[in-house]
């Protein structure tokens, strides 16, 4: 089994700030404060220019200061120091998919039930970016299938028990103090299941995954995030899978996900995996389930594949991953962005089926209708999703046919490099080649055996058919 964490430190931690209930920051004169008989926290930061420091004070602390300072100087007048944005600052992945478009529509995933099956939710109940969910009573269920006797939200960082917490942050997390939005589904209802143990890798974890999925279906949950994947690394090496078993049929968990999708109407969003740089290379199960929504990781400016993001098999009659979204830390953190996005779509139109939503996301991708087993249909954006739903005309890849062994392109390039995905057929990549324009020209050479080539220029795609 491989836990799809990429790195042990989630990007969220780079932004997480201290926050306490009913706190607000103020500029105060520390010299004047020293004369008061009140106990205050240490200042966050101080300014020589202003001769003052910022303090995060509770309502009781503010009352104590005002009560002790009937004749205080004007410098002690309370002036909020925190910058309040009319619109939240978006995490990078949300910026990529233009999530502000959904925010302006008032979409928050309200009323949608989301299941998260993961390896642990360490201290999620104390996390400032998830506090709003607990305060609003939106955390409906927590079940530990591995160690049911352990205190809820317990565990150890050394066993990656914070992985589920980090994933959850990217589904519906919001840092109120810093006004940073990490996930779109800030008003969805959440059901949490811990099915994986970081101290060992055993097939029982797959059994518990299936049990959790079945119980979530019984609770009326239609949307489930799975940032777990299974391939190698079992305690008993004889239980390791082989790459050719990632076919959507061999593993029990892939079959269970397929039943959930095709018979129960559930939308299972699954991380593709992080093994593209390893000998394994291909995706993990259950990301191989044909009707799972399998998510790979893309880069930010040029929507190329992240080097680590696992590659879909070339021996199936369906393409994986389905779509891709930005993440530097693993496909574990691309997947929850999509889960939050799906929750907003189901809030907007509850009549959509799970498979219709998957098709919408594919059609909103920048590679559509020419997917590949590196990025799937590419990166979907919120405006493009709405265009697809409304039947509006979309900007699609330009189609070029040539009988020559190279394709010359002349234009003003706004990217430093282009990426060619040379494919042996309509979707399976045989070589990824980077080209750098010379001035306003670039020549794309056909690779022997290539039938089609998807040429990526930032977000734009040209599909070359070699004849």
Query: Within 13 Å of residue 467, how many CA atoms lie on the same side as its CB?
Result: 7
pLDDT for 420 equals 98
pLDDT for 358 equals 98
pLDDT for 131 equals 97
How far apart are the C-alpha atoms of 62 and 77, rounded to whole Å?
11
- pLDDT per residue as tens digits for the range 156-206: 988 889 999 999 999 999 999 999 999 999 999 999 999 998 777 788 999
Q: Are 340 and 347 contacting, i.e. CB atoms less than 8 angstroms apart?
A: no
pLDDT for 313 equals 97
Weakly modelled stretches of the chain, pLDDT under 50 = 1-22, 70-85
pLDDT for 72 equals 35
pLDDT for 5 equals 37
For 268, 337, 384, the CA distances from 343, given in Å and listed in that order, are 12, 10, 17
pLDDT for 26 equals 65
* Model confidence, pTM: 0.82
Pick the closest to residue 365 from 346, 349, 341, 330 (CA basis): 341
pLDDT for 24 equals 60
For 183, 214, 258, 347, the CA distances from 342, given in Å and listed in that order, are 11, 20, 18, 9
Neighbours of 459 (CB within 10 A): 15
pLDDT for 86 equals 55
pLDDT for 49 equals 65
pLDDT for 63 equals 76
């Amino acid at each position: 089994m491989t836990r799809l964490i990429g790195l042990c430190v989630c990007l969220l931690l780079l932004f997480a700030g201290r926050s306490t209930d009913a706190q607000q920051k103020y500029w105060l004169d520390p010299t004047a404060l020293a004369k008061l008989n009140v106990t205050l926290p240490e200042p966050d930061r101080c300014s020589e220019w202003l001769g003052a420091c910022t303090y995060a004070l509770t309502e009781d602390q503010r009352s104590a200061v005002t009560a002790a300072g009937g004749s205080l100087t004007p410098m002690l007048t309370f002036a909020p120091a925190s910058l309040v944005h009319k619109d939240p600052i978006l995490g990078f992945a949300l910026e990529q998919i233009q999530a502000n478009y959904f925010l302006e529509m008032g979409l928050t995933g309200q009323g949608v039930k989301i299941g998260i099956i993961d390896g642990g939710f360490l201290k999620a109940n104390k996390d400032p970016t998830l506090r709003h969910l607990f305060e609003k009573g939106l955390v409906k269920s927590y079940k530990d299938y591995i160690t049911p006797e352990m205190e809820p939200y317990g565990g150890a960082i050394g066993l990656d028990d914070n992985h589920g917490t980090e994933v959850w942050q990217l589904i519906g997390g919001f840092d109120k103090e810093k006004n940073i939005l990490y996930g779109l589904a800030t008003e969805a209802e959440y059901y949490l299941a811990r099915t994986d143990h970081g101290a060992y890798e055993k097939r029982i974890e797959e059994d518990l995954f299936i049990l959790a999925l079945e119980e979530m279906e019984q609770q009326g949950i239609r949307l489930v995030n799975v940032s777990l994947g299974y391939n190698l690394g079992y305690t008993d090496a004889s239980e390791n899978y082989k790459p050719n078993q990632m076919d959507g049929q061999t593993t029990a968990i892939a079959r269970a996900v397929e039943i959930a999708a095709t018979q129960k109407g559930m939308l299972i969003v699954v991380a593709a995996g992080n093994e593209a740089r390893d000998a394994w290379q291909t995706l993990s199960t259950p990301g191989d389930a044909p009707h799972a929504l399998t998510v790979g990781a893309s880069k930010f400016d040029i929507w190329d594949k992240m080097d680590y993001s696992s590659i879909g098999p070339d021996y199936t009659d369906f393409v994986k991953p389905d779509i891709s979204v930005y993440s530097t830390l693993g496909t574990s953190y691309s997947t929850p962005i999509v889960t939050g996005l799906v929750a907003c779509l189901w809030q907007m139109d509850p009549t959509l089926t799970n498979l219709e939503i998957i098709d919408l996301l594919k059609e909103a991708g920048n590679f559509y209708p020419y997917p590949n087993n590196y990025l799937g249909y590419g990166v979907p954006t919120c405006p493009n999703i709405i265009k697809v739903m409304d039947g509006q005309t979309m900007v699609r890849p330009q189609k070029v046919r040539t009988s020559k062994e190279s394709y010359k392109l002349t234009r003003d390039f706004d990217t430093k490099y282009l990426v060619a995905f040379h494919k042996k057929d309509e979707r399976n990549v045989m070589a990824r080649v980077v080209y750098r324009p010379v001035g306003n020209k670039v020549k794309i050479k056909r690779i022997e055996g290539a039938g089609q080539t998807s040429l990526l220029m930032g977000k734009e795609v040209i599909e070359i058919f070699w004849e």
